[in-house]
Amino acid sequence: MKAMLIDATRCVGCRSCQIACKEWNNLPGEQTEFFAAKGYQNPRDLSAKTWTLITYNELKVNNRFEWVFGKRQCFHCQEPACATACPVRALEKTSAGPVVYHPNLCLGCRYCQLACPFKIPRFEWHSPVPKITKCTMCADRVAAGLEPACAKACPTDAIIFGERETLAAEAENRIHRNPRGYVHHVYGKDEVGGTCVMHLSNVPFAELGFSPNLPRRSLVQHVQHAMQPIPFLIAGLGIALGAISWIVNRRIELQEKEQQQCPQPTHDSPQ
Amino acid sequence: MSTTNTRFPTIGQIVLGLLAVVGISLIAYRFVYGIGAVANLSDGYPWGVWIALDVLTGIALASGGFVMAGTIHLFGGRKFHALARPAILTAFLGYLLFIIGLLVDIGRPWNIWKAMYSWHHESPMFEVAWCVMLYTTVLFLEFLPAVFEKFSLTRIHAYWHSLVPWLIMFMLGFFTLAMTYSWLWAGIIICILLLWELAMRTKLMPRDKQMPIILIMAGVIFSCMHQSSLGTLFLIVPHKLHILWYTPILPALFLLSAIMVAPAMVIVEAILTEKSVGHKAHTHLLSRLGQVIPYLLSLYLLLKVADVVGRGAVPYVFMLNAQAISWWAEITIGCIVPIILFLDPAICNSHKGLLWSSVPVIVGILWNRMNVAVVGIKVEDWEIYYPKWSELFITMGIISIGLLVFQILAKNLPIYESEAPSGAHN
C-alpha cells in the first residue's frame, strides 16, 4: 500500500507543495486575509480550494524559538472512518492506498465530515451543487506510477512517497539515528488503526495542531457491534412478533367464543 | 364526523401558514445560494439543529405509529383501536416531513436514490437511508385503509389486504439482503414471514380483519432498526461526542426513548386535535396510556444512569459546564418530572393533567437529541456552532406545513372514531 512520510524537521516552509497541489488538481486561488497568530500561514485553513496546507508554528525548541512547519492534508487512513460512514461508497479506500471521492454517488450528507478524526473533508457550503473535497493523494498520478504532486515538488525531500512498510521503517530509523532531533513518535503509524500519511516532528504533535488523543483502534470498529447483529435482530423480531401475535390473538378469539356461548353481563365497558 | 363550529382560518392556522411561507422562501434561497447561505454549519460542525430536530427528534416523535399499531394488532391491545389511525397518520406525515427536511439538509438531494444501488452495509447511514425509504412505504400502506373507506373502494381494499403481505416479504427480504449481502439471510427472513402468512391463510393462526399482521410486523421491525440506527450514527465519533452521551449502547437508548415517547405523543396529539379537528378524545384510553408512561420512563432512566455509572462518567455529571447542565436538564425534564406527575392518579384522569405531564416527556426527548447531535459534539480548535435564525425558521416552516396538512387530512378522512359507548370495534 502506497503512503507518504512527512518530516517536519526537513521542511523549510516554501509551500511548493501547496502550489503543486493547486496546479495538478486545478484548484483556484483563494482570497486571503490576515488573521490572529500564525501570521505567515496562508491561507488560514484547508478549504474546498486548498487541499493541503503548510502550517506555520513559532515554537520553543531547545529553549529557542524556531519555526516548525506542519503539513495538513488527508491522512488516507488504512481503515478510513469517512469511507465507512459513507452510505453510498462515494468515498472509497483504494487498494493502492489513496482514499478517493466519487461525486456522482455523493448525497452530500456530510457524515464523512463528522466521522473524520482529522477534520479533513471540506464541503462547498456556498454552492447549489456542492461537493465534498479533500486531498486524493493524487490518485491519478499514483495510478500512472508517479508520486503525488506535493512530494514531487518538495525541494528538501520533507515529503517522500513509497510503500507504507518501507516508510514506517524509514521513520523509525530516522528517530533511531537522531534520537534527540525527534519526538519519539511516528504520527499516523498507529492512530485510528494506522494511516497512509505519517509525520515526524521535533516538537510534540499537539503543538502542530495534530489531535494527540485519538484512539488506536480504527473508528470502524466502534460501530461494528451495532451493525453486525442486524440480521439476527430482524430474524429474532420476525419470529418473536409473529409468535406473540399468534398466542395473544388466539387467546382473545377463544375468550370471544366463550362469551358468545354463555353471554355474561357486560363487564366494565368504557364509560 | 361532527361538524366543527370553529372559524376558518383560525389564528393558529394563519400563524402556521405564515411560518410555512417563510420556511419555503428560505428553502428556495438555500437551493440557489447553497447551505452556507442559510446555516451556520461548518466543516468542523457539519451537522446542526436540522439533524437534531428534523431527523433525530422528528423520527423519535413518529414512533407512535409503530408502537400503537404493534400494541393493537400484535399485543392484543384492541381496545386502543381508536388511537391507531391518528398515530399512523402522525407517523406518516412525520416521515414525509422528515424527508423534506432531509432534502434541504443534504447537499446533493438529487442523488438520494443512489442508496438503492450503491450499497455499503457497513455504514450506519446506509441502514438509516434504507429504513427511511422502506418504513415510509409501510406507513403509506398502513394509512391507505382510511382512503379506501372514505371513497368506498371496497374491492381495492380487499386486493390491498391480500397483496400487501407479499410486498412486505419482498421488502424485508431485500432489506436483509442489502444489510448483509447474504442471500441466505434474505431467504431466512422471507421463510419466517412466509410461514406466518401461510399459517394465517390456512386459518391456523388468527388473522386480523383490518390490517395484515405481516404489515404491522414489518412496521415494528423497520422502526426498531431505524430508531436504533440513528443512535448508531454517533458511535463513529468517540473523539467528538461528550462522554455523558457517547456509549456503546446508544442505539438501544435511542430505541427505548422512542418507544417511551410514543404514548406521550399520542396523548398530546389526541388532546390538541380535539378542538382543531373537532372529535372527542377517548379519555379512558388516554389515562390507560398515561399509566404505562412512568414504567417506561423509569426503565429508561435506570438504563441511562447505570450506563453513566458503568462507564465511570459520574464525575462529568457533577461538573459545572454546559454539557453537564444540559444533561441534568434532559434527565429532569424528560424523566424525573413526568415520572412524578404520572404516578398521581388524579393527573392521569384529567385531560389537562395528561397533557401537561406528557409535554415534558416530549421536550425531554427533544433535549436529549439536541444534546447528542449539538450540545455534546465538541470539535477541538474549532469555533463552536450555534444555529442561525434561518435554520430554525426552515425547521419551523416544515413543521407548520405538516400541522396544516394533518388538520386537512384529519378533517376529511375517517381518521378519528367517535367515542361510541358500546365499543365500536370488535
Ordered by start, the domain boundaries in chain A are 2-78+133-223, 229-261
Contact between chains at B126 and A108 (C-beta distance less than 8 A)? no
Number of other CB atoms surrounding residue B412 within 10 Å: 11
Tell whether B189 is covered by a domain.
yes
Query: Which residue, B134, B61, B13, B45, is CA-closest to B388?
Result: B45
pLDDT tier for residue A264 given thresholds of 50, 70 and 90? low
Q: Is residue B420's pLDDT more than 70?
A: no
Residue of B nearest to A121 (CA): B43
- Rounded to a whole number of angstroms, the distance from the CA of B122 to the nearest CA of chain A is 6
CA-CA distance, A7 to A171, in Å (whole number)? Answer: 9
ipTM of the complex: 0.90
Residue B280's pLDDT is 76
CA-CA distance, A183 to A203, in Å (whole number)? Answer: 6
- Rounded to a whole number of angstroms, the distance from the CA of B75 to the nearest CA of chain A is 6
pLDDT in tens, A191-230: 999 999 999 999 999 999 999 889 999 999 999 999 999 9
**A77 and B CB contact within 8 Å:** no
pLDDT tier for residue B7 given thresholds of 50, 70 and 90? low
Phi then psi for residue B319, to 5 deg, are -85, 160
**A74 and B CB contact within 8 Å:** no
Do B68 and B259 contact (CB within 8 A), yes or no?
no
CA-CA distance, B313 to B296, in Å (whole number)? Answer: 24
pLDDT in tens, B50-78: 999 999 999 999 999 999 999 999 998 88
Do B364 and B333 contact (CB within 8 A), yes or no?
yes
Please state which of the ranges A192-206, B94-108, B277-291 shows the lowest mean pLDDT: B277-291
The pLDDT of B212-233, averaged and rounded, is: 95
Contact between chains at B43 and A269 (C-beta distance less than 8 A)? no
**CA angle (A67 as vertex; A64, A69 as ends), nearest 5:** 140
DSSP letters, B50-102, are IIIIIIIIHHHHTTHHHHHHHHHHTSS-GGGGGGHHHHHHHHHHHHHHHHHHH
Contact between chains at A121 and B32 (C-beta distance less than 8 A)? no
Phi then psi for residue B316, to 5 deg, are -70, -20
Q: Which amino acid is at B425?
A: H
Tell whether B103 is covered by a domain.
yes
Is domain A2-78+133-223 given the CATH code 3.30.70.20 in the classification? yes
pLDDT tier for residue B348 given thresholds of 50, 70 and 90? confident
Q: Where is the domain boundary, B190, B220, B236?
A: B236
Q: For the CA atoms of chain B, what is the radius of gyration?
A: 22
pLDDT tier for residue A271 given thresholds of 50, 70 and 90? very low
Mean pLDDT for all residues in chain A? 92
Tell whether B148 is covered by a domain.
yes
For A:172-211, CB contacts with B below 8 A are 209, 211
Looking at the structure, tell me whether residues B72 and B175 fall in a common domain: yes
Q: Which amino acid is at A204?
A: P
pLDDT tier for residue B2 given thresholds of 50, 70 and 90? very low
Looking at the structure, tell me whether residues B214 and B299 fall in a common domain: no
Please state which of the ranges A180-184, B229-233, B282-286 shows the lowest mean pLDDT: B282-286
Using CB atoms, pick whichever of B107, B180, B228 lies closest to residue A231: B180
Burial of A63 (0-12, 13-18, 19+ CB in 10 A): exposed
The pLDDT of B383-411, averaged and rounded, is: 91
Q: Count how many pairs of residues, chain A against chain B, have C-beta atoms within 8 Å.
A: 228
Q: Quick one: what percent of chain B has pLDDT higher than 90?
A: 74
Looking at the structure, tell me whether residues B226 and B122 fall in a common domain: yes
* Grid cell listed for B71: 400494541
Q: Is residue A37's pLDDT more than 70?
A: no
Contacting residues of B for A74, CB less than 8 Å apart: none
Tell whether B324 is covered by a domain.
yes
Query: Which residue, A161, A197, A160, A175, is CA-closest to A77?
Result: A197
pLDDT in tens, A246-262: 999 889 888 888 888 87
Residue A134's pLDDT is 96
Do A92 and A50 contact (CB within 8 A), yes or no?
no
Residue B423's pLDDT is 37
Looking at the structure, tell me whether residues B204 and B352 fall in a common domain: no
Please give the tally of structural domains in chain B: 2
Contacting residues of A for B213, CB less than 8 Å apart: 242, 245
Looking at the structure, tell me whether residues B326 and B179 fall in a common domain: no
| Range(s) of the domain holding residue B332 | 239-384
Contacting residues of B for A218, CB less than 8 Å apart: none
Half-sphere exposure of A149 (CA within 13 A, CB side): 20
Q: Is residue B46's pLDDT more than 70?
A: yes
Tell whether B30 is covered by a domain.
no
Tell whether B409 is covered by a domain.
no
* Grid cell listed for A151: 512530494
Higher pLDDT, B5 or B32: B32
- Rounded to a whole number of angstroms, the distance from the CA of B76 to the nearest CA of chain A is 6
Looking at the structure, tell me whether residues B259 and B138 fall in a common domain: no
Looking at the structure, tell me whether residues B194 and B256 fall in a common domain: no
Do A21 and A52 contact (CB within 8 A), yes or no?
yes
- Rounded to a whole number of angstroms, the distance from the CA of B18 to the nearest CA of chain A is 26
Number of other CB atoms surrounding residue A202 within 10 Å: 17
Contact between chains at A223 and B236 (C-beta distance less than 8 A)? yes
Looking at the structure, tell me whether residues B85 and B232 fall in a common domain: yes
Higher pLDDT, B7 or B342: B342
CA dihedral B97, B103, B106, B111 (to 10 degrees): 140
The answer for residues whose C-beta is within 8 angstroms of residue B149's C-beta and 6 or more apart is B157, B414
Looking at the structure, tell me whether residues B61 and B78 fall in a common domain: yes
Contact between chains at A219 and B118 (C-beta distance less than 8 A)? no
Which of A52-56, B10-14, B411-415 is modeled with the greatest confidence?
Answer: A52-56
For A:240-269, CB contacts with B below 8 A are 241-242, 244-246, 248-253, 256, 269
Phi then psi for residue A269, to 5 deg, are -75, 150
For A:82-111, CB contacts with B below 8 A are 84-90, 103-111
Q: Is residue A109's pLDDT more than 60?
A: yes
CA-CA distance, A4 to B41, in Å (whole number)? Answer: 32
Tell whether B44 is covered by a domain.
no
Query: For residue A255, what are the CA distances in angstroms to A246, A251, B204, B206, B425?
Result: 14, 6, 17, 13, 16
Query: Which residue, B219, B223, B233, is CA-closest to B51?
Result: B233
Please state which of the ranges B38-52, B98-112, B129-143, B408-422 shows the lowest mean pLDDT: B408-422
